[in-house]
Amino acid sequence: MSSAGAMAVRSCVDAKRRVTHFTYPHEQELMTITQQDVDRIARLAYLKLTPDQTARTQSEFSEIVTLIQQLQSVSTEGVTPMEHPLSGHQNVVLRLRDDVARPAATPEERDALMANAPATADGLFLVPTVIE
């Protein structure tokens, strides 16, 4: 990022108005991503990284986190999050549909929807058994 851009950003920061949820980078140790972090994220995301992948991810992550940590340099007190990009321009509300049901599928229609499944039996999707 150029210094001109960064200067523009810093001029927005008012040190007195702080968001209370987290501390600024200069107030904490620089984030180091540990292997445990990578393992935890991979578990949540149902990914099984090889040791190589884990090591690579760990080093990439540190760089990525440095990139996204720039977010924390700006105070956003009083700013509402923007989920729909047009919510600032016009009133975006959830549109509803009438409670009308379509008829049940015939077995052929059902099979067409399930045609890409790796394993099925008796109209059911099959997965290795989960023991509870």
Residue 123 binds other proteins (CB under 8 A): yes
Among the listed residues 22, 30, 32, 34, the single contact to other proteins using CB under 8 A: 22
Q: Which two tokens stand for residue 122?
A: 């008796």
Task: Dig out the tokens for 41 from the structure.
Answer: 């994220």
Check binding of 104 to other proteins (CB under 8 A): yes
64 near other proteins (CB under 8 A):
yes
Is residue 72 part of the contact set for other proteins (CB under 8 A)? yes
Under the criterion CB under 8 A, does residue 36 sit at the interface with other proteins?
A: no
Shortest Å, Cβ 16 to other proteins: 18
What whole-number distance in Å separates Cα of residue 34 and Cα of residue 59?
A: 9
Question: Which amino acid makes up residue 4?
Answer: A
Spatial separation of the C-alpha atoms in residues 80 and 13, rounded to whole Å? 17
Residues 73-102 interacting with other proteins (rule: CB under 8 A):
74, 76, 79-90, 92-102
Looking at residue 94, its amino acid is L
The closest of 4, 10, 5 to 26, measured between CA atoms, is 10
To the nearest whole angstrom, how small is the minimum distance from the Cβ of residue 14 to other proteins? 13
